[in-house]
Amino acid sequence: MPRTVWDSTLGKKTVMAVSGLIMLAYLVVHMLGNLKIFFGSDEFNGYAHWLRTLGEPFLHYEWALWITRVALVVAVVAHATAAYQLSRRDLRARPAKYVHKKRRASYATRTMRWGGVILGLFIVWHILDLTTGTLHPGGFQSGHPYQNVIDTFSTWYGNVVYLVAVLALGLHIRHGFWSAAQTLGAGSRTRDRALKTTANLLALVLTVGFVSVPVAVMTGVVS
Amino acid sequence: MSTYADYVTGEPVVDGKAPEGPIGERWDTRRFEAKLVNPANRRKHTVIVVGTGLAGGSAGATLAEQGYHVVQFCYQDSPRRAHSIAAQGGINAAKNYRNDGDSVHRLFYDTVKGGDFRARESNVHRLAQISVEIIDQCVAQGVPFAREYGGLLDTRSFGGVQVSRTFYARGQTGQQLLLGAYQALSRQIAAGNVEMRPRTEMLDLIVIDGRARGIVARDLITGRIDTYFADAVVLASGGYGNVFYLSTNAMNSNATAVWRAHRRGALFANPCFTQIHPTCIPRTGEHQSKLTLMSESLRNDGRIWVPEAKGDTRPADRIPEDERDYYLERIYPSFGNLVPRDIASRAAKNVCDEGRGVGPGGQGVYLDFADAIARMGRKAVEAKYGNLFDMYQRITDEDPYEVPMRIYPAVHYTMGGLWVDYDLQTTVPGLFAIGEANFSDHGANRLGASALMQGLADGYFVLPATINDYLARHPRQGDTGRQHPVVQEVLAETEDRLNLLLAVDGDRTPDSFHREVGELMWEFCGMARTDSGLRKALERIPQIREEFWRRIKVPGTGEEFNQSLEKANRVVDYLELAELMCLDALHRAESCGGHFREESQTPDGEAERRDEEFTYAAAWEFTGTGTAPVLHREDLVFEYVHPTQRSYA
Amino acid sequence: MKLTLRVWRQRAADADGAMSTYDVDGISPDMSFLEMLDTLNEELILRGEDPVAFDHDCREGICGACSLVINGDAHGPERTTTCQLHMRSFADGDTIDVEPWRASAFPVIKDLVVDRSAFDRIIQAGGYITAPTGAAPEAHATAVPKPDADFAFEHAECIGCGACVAACPNGAAMLFTSAKINHLNVLPQGAPERETRVLDMVERMDDEGFGGCTLAGECATACPKGIPLVSITSMNKEWLRAARKAGKR
């Protein structure tokens, strides 16, 4: 079965759909957690600490976090590998372009590939910035995410990178969610509108949710 | 007068295969008497099938299922594109699901009568018997026939009959049946039992020691001419309606396979029996490349009319009810708009000749759905005929829901074809002809929805049963190789012909000759034929042929994909076949079915048969290009359906 | 009408191709697009030039032979086959670009003619119901609910022209493959081979070098028979179901 799935374009698409939905679920939680920043540094830092103690005493300190991290890494790698292989295949399948050019497919569809690449690069930067602190502007303080976030969004490039990434994310989800539903066979003529609306809503909510943080920092609502 | 018309009459030709006895038992008897080939030996026999339409596709698949090695050819890029795909209306079967009095005998009777008593009873009865099995077979293959809400199959009525026995898949019955056969064939290709050769056109038949042993075919991509050997050759290459240039046939449908077989000794029967379909979209101008049929099923609900007055140019909706002439309902009150095709076509021609035709050039009559829409509602009409209406609108730019359709007759089907016996074997042993390529079942006129029935009956059931007998009785013969003197000669003739076409380098295109001979045929050998007209055509055809070989221009070479060369080579054969059609029409000085001789009509203008003289199938023997052929008669005996003047009034 | 045509000319599969420009005059709006090309070809032949090669046969929109990309659209601006496209869809003086189907699984044979035999091989992989002649039960033995019969028909309408592949930015054959799978898998007659059919056909489709689906929807827009995009979704569902069942065996 695993070979059947991975060897087939449909199987790889399934892998992309499932991994995409896992990441999407994570992002919803992540976005909701981010919004805690509006309740002040204590609550935000406390929430970050709670994430590390989640599942105790059944789980050891930070285990829940690491389990999530591992699952996410697997999802990202599977998603990206499948995407890369499928894209290579797609480009090979249509080597000659039409002389008469036409732009058609919606913006979200056309941006899936480079949108995905932007998101991949962003994830690397985002981890180096706010998880390991390697690329963090100003001194990174472990255990003080509130201050770290304000540091990042106090630089112009931090804001630009983040905003571009979040917009790419919105477009990616808009086509990706609906697409995943089709890949998993959940779409139908009667359900199509509902799925499209859900996709648009998810894209909008996540974009607004994530964007609200840098905007709040820039405007001084959070400081 | 041309010497070609001075034909001589030879020995009668006799079908020696149909058993005697009660007609309902003949098919069983024949199958029992036929020798069988041991299943273990079938693999060693190769059968060539030319064509992948309903007849060829189903035959290839079934022969392969039985264990034969099949090599199959089509000129199209895929076996799925054969022109059977364009059949719209449906397929007849004597299932009597409607409980409306249908039976095998009634289908048999209707077909013999519809064919104006010029078909062989044994064959037609077998066809009616097999019709029920075809539906079973197709349903099992997944053909999505129209169904009722209860999940059972729906049927509709068709021209020339008073029962509802036509099974259909919206307006695409031919497509669905063909895809069924194509899928069965595909299964056999995948299994390695059928060697499929698409884009390969048969150009000649190889006959060695009096038996069909293979074919010469050209790979249309590379231009390579090759020989293929087999223990039997089956021609399922369709009809020859494209002689007329404008017809409802596909652009590349052609007569080369049957004509070349005829030249190699197979008798050609009833070539003048062509069917002019009453409901086609009228032509719009000189540029017209082909005609499009609108399914006859439209006549179920549409009403045909023309204005009462000559030269009435008012738009249809401005002509009040009492100034319209619903001429079919008037002349044939009991069948009304559902009279057989030949009658409907001629009636349309008559009203147009009277100057009451509508549309550009007055070459059209109205097919009006206003009443049907009022009665059933637009939705119901849409469900039944939606795709046909859409097609009409695309072609004419007129909305048939708002204004009546305009229709006019066009060449559609050829009842004539290679003469075959009850086993579907031609007069060349080992050469079989099935589907439209043979002449057997429809007599002088084919009823609607019977072509699909015959094609599939021949391919799925008849040929696979009868070909065994031939193969069992004749020792297997291997590949003789290209070196055999006969093969060398056939190959050389083919190559010479193509080379000559390329070498003439004249100033006229293949299409221009095709159009010229087509127009000539439509004028003199079309819906109404006369002695003098046919003689005129017979005089003209050799002149066109002579001009063709002087002025034809074919660009390019033979060693490449060359559509002009393909076309020119087909025209060569049309220019000979046309001559035989005219001669056959001239010699048959009676009217019957689709063959209407103006000299032979009743006082009220109906076709008048002359049974004492013409109750036979005319099978012609080739003697040389432009030289008089020999006529062999097959006398037709009617034991079960006694010839009467057809009446649909 | 007077038109300027820019047509892809390529002498053979291994030759280089390029767009060539031709002027045609005296075109009637009632002509079909192919009749317009016939007019051009008649002129080319008389001028001693090689006429433009293109596939066509029934000219009634059902055989699926015709296959031109016109101004960047598979089958041109109307939702129909090329043969049913009429010149009234263009304006006098227009420049029209005519190109062949483009996909690596559909190599060009000459000019506008491509090799679509990959489609046949997909069908050969499982696009049939195993029902040898003579083995069929009585047609009314199994009733098929009308909605299922209609669903099957809607997908069986596919004419195998390949416009879906030509229009797809990835050269994918998903719509074609899904149409046949949906046609056969919904019918009770097709049930015994339901799983193998979809697994084998999809595998063949991949092996032929078609791309994957990114649900851009171009295929369904180009399809002259209106096979809907959701057809692909249904196939995905069938495939997942089959892959799960195959995993259990």
* Amino acid letter, B623: T
CA C146 to centroid of chain Cα atoms: 27
Q: Does C231 touch chain B (CB under 8 A)?
A: no
Angle between helices C230-248 and C174-185 (to 10 degrees): 70
Q: How many domains does chain B have?
A: 2
CA distance A182 to chain C (A): 5
Claim to verify: residue B403 and residue B507 sit in the same structural domain:
no
Residue range(s) occupied by CATH 3.10.20.30 in chain C: 3-110
Q: In this predicted model, what pLDDT tens digit does every residue of A185-212 receive, in sequence order?
A: 999 989 999 999 999 999 999 999 999 9
Claim to verify: residue B400 and residue B284 sit in the same structural domain:
yes
Task: Identify which of A7, A14, A179 has the shortest CB distance to residue C215.
Answer: A179
**Residue B274 dihedral angles phi and psi, to the nearest 5°:** -115, 145
Q: Does C47 touch chain B (CB under 8 A)?
A: no
Angle between helices B485-504 and B563-587 (to 10 degrees): 100
- If you write DSSP's letter for every residue of A152-220 in order, what string do you get? HTTSHHHHHHHHHHHHHHHHHHHHHHHHHHHHTT---TTTHHHHHHHHHHHHHHHHHHHHHHHHHHHHT
- Asked if the Cβ–Cβ distance from C212 to A185 is below 8 Å, we say no
Q: Does C75 touch chain B (CB under 8 A)?
A: no
Return the CATH number at B403.
Answer: 3.90.700.10
- Asked if the Cβ–Cβ distance from C62 to B190 is below 8 Å, we say no
For residue B327, is it within any domain?
yes
Could you tell me which chain A residue has the CA closest to the CA of C201? A8
Q: pLDDT band at A223, cuts 50/70/90?
A: confident
C20, C94, C185, C214: best to mutate for the A interface, most A CBs within 10 A: C214
**What pLDDT sits at residue A138?**
81
- Asked if the Cβ–Cβ distance from A4 to C237 is below 8 Å, we say no
Across B355-363, average pLDDT: 91
CB-CB neighbors (< 8 A) of C234 in chain A: 185, 188
Q: What tokens does B121 get?
A: 């009873």
For residue B81, is it within any domain?
no
Query: Given a contact as 3+ CB pairs under 8 Å, which chains touch C?
Result: A, B
Task: Identify which of A89, A101, A178 has the shortest CB distance to residue C212.
Answer: A89
Q: What tokens does B286 get?
A: 């000189």
**Sheet bearing B46-50, strands edge to edge:** B194-197, B69-73, B46-50, B232-235, B431-433
Last residue of a domain, one of B370, B397, B412: B412
CA distance C75 to chain B (A): 14
**What pLDDT sits at residue A108?**
67
**What pLDDT sits at residue C95?**
98
**Residue B348 dihedral angles phi and psi, to the nearest 5°:** -65, -40
- Asked if the Cβ–Cβ distance from C216 to A101 is below 8 Å, we say no
**What pLDDT sits at residue B603?**
86
Task: Using CA atoms of B395, B397, B403, B407 in order, give the dihedral in degrees to the nearest 10.
Answer: -30
Secondary structure (3-state) at B233: strand
- Asked if the Cβ–Cβ distance from C45 to B78 is below 8 Å, we say no
Which residue in B30, B341, B529, B609 is the catalytic one? Answer: B341
Q: What tokens does B273 get?
A: 């029996």
Q: Quick one: fold of C3-110?
A: Ubiquitin-like (UB roll) (3.10.20)
Task: Identify which of C72, C230, C240 has the shortest CB distance to residue A188.
Answer: C230
The pLDDT of residue B530 is above 50: yes
Across B52-63, average pLDDT: 98
CA distances from B474 to B35, B67, C150 (A): 11, 17, 48
DSSP designation for B459: I
Q: In this predicted model, what pLDDT tens digit does every residue of B490-506 receive, in sequence order?
A: 999 999 999 999 999 99
C46, C60, C155: best to mutate for the B interface, most B CBs within 10 A: C60
Going from N- to C-terminal start, the domains of chain A cover 2-94+110-219
Q: Find the domain containing B310 and state its range.
A: 277-412
| Annotation marks residue B341 as catalytic | yes
Taking phi over 0 as left and psi of -120 to 50 as alpha, with beta for the rest, B65 belongs to: alpha
Across C2-27, average pLDDT: 97
What's the whole-number average pLDDT of chain C? 97
Q: Does C196 touch chain B (CB under 8 A)?
A: no
Burial of C106 (0-12, 13-18, 19+ CB in 10 A): buried
The pLDDT of residue B1 is above 50: no
Q: pLDDT band at A105, cuts 50/70/90?
A: low
| C-alpha atoms less than 13 angstroms from C-alpha of B275 in its C-beta half-sphere | 31
Across B532-543, average pLDDT: 98
**What pLDDT sits at residue B488?**
96
Burial of B322 (0-12, 13-18, 19+ CB in 10 A): exposed
Could you tell me which chain C residue has the CA closest to the CA of A15? C240
* Amino acid letter, A122: F
Q: Residue B48 belongs to what H/E stretch?
A: strand B46-50
Q: In this predicted model, what pLDDT tens digit does every residue of B577-632 receive, in sequence order?
A: 999 999 999 999 999 999 999 999 988 778 899 999 999 999 999 999 999 999 99
Count of B-C CB contacts under 8 Å: 222
- Asked if the Cβ–Cβ distance from C243 to A1 is below 8 Å, we say yes
**Residue C69 dihedral angles phi and psi, to the nearest 5°:** -95, 115
HEC sequence for B100-141: CCCCHHHHHHHHHHHCCCCCCHHHHHHHHHHHHHHHHHHHHH
Q: Mean pLDDT check: name the lowest of A95-99, A106-110, B271-275, B466-470.
A: A106-110
CATH 3.90.380.10, domain C116-248, yes or no: no
For residue B510, is it within any domain?
yes
- Asked if the Cβ–Cβ distance from C215 to A109 is below 8 Å, we say yes
- Asked if the Cβ–Cβ distance from C63 to B85 is below 8 Å, we say yes
- In angstroms, the CA A76 to CA A70 distance is 10
Q: Mean pLDDT check: name the lowest of A17-21, A120-124, B169-173.
A: B169-173
Residue range(s) occupied by CATH 1.10.1060.10 in chain C: 116-248
Taking phi over 0 as left and psi of -120 to 50 as alpha, with beta for the rest, A202 belongs to: alpha
Which residues of A have a CB under 8 Å from any CB of C?
A: 1, 4-5, 7-14, 86, 89-102, 104-105, 109-110, 112, 175, 178-179, 181-189, 192
Claim to verify: residue B495 and residue B401 sit in the same structural domain:
no
Across A15-38, average pLDDT: 97
Return the CATH number at B575.
Answer: 1.20.58.100
Q: In this predicted model, what pLDDT tens digit does every residue of C195-232 receive, in sequence order?
A: 999 999 999 999 999 999 999 999 999 999 999 999 99
What's the whole-number average pLDDT of chain B? 95
Across B315-328, average pLDDT: 95
Q: In this predicted model, what pLDDT tens digit does every residue of C158-201 receive, in sequence order?
A: 999 999 999 999 999 999 999 999 999 999 999 999 999 999 99
The pLDDT of residue B223 is above 70: yes
Q: In this predicted model, what pLDDT tens digit does every residue of B331-355 receive, in sequence order?
A: 999 889 988 888 899 999 999 999 9
- In angstroms, the CA B609 to CA B645 distance is 7
CB-CB neighbors (< 8 A) of C9 in chain B: none
The pLDDT of residue B416 is above 70: yes
Q: What tokens does B332 get?
A: 């044939």
For residue B41, is it within any domain?
no
Residues of chain B with pLDDT > 70: what percent? 100
**What pLDDT sits at residue B476?**
84
For residue A57, whether the previous peptide bond is cis, meaning omega lies within 30 degrees of 0, is yes
- In angstroms, the CA B78 to CA B59 distance is 16
Query: Closest Cα partner for C69 from C95, C88, C97?
Result: C97
- In angstroms, the CA B84 to CA B51 distance is 11
Q: In this predicted model, what pLDDT tens digit does every residue of B67-121 receive, in sequence order?
A: 999 999 999 999 999 999 999 889 999 999 999 999 999 999 999 999 999 999 9
Q: In this predicted model, what pLDDT tens digit does every residue of B134-154 receive, in sequence order?
A: 999 999 999 999 999 999 999
- In angstroms, the CA B251 to CA C35 distance is 11
**What pLDDT sits at residue B605?**
79
Q: Quick one: fold of A2-94+110-219?
A: 3 helical TM bundles of succinate and fumarate reductases (1.20.1300)
- Asked if the Cβ–Cβ distance from C246 to A8 is below 8 Å, we say no
The pLDDT of residue A34 is above 50: yes
The predicted model scores a pTM of 0.96
Q: Does C82 touch chain B (CB under 8 A)?
A: no
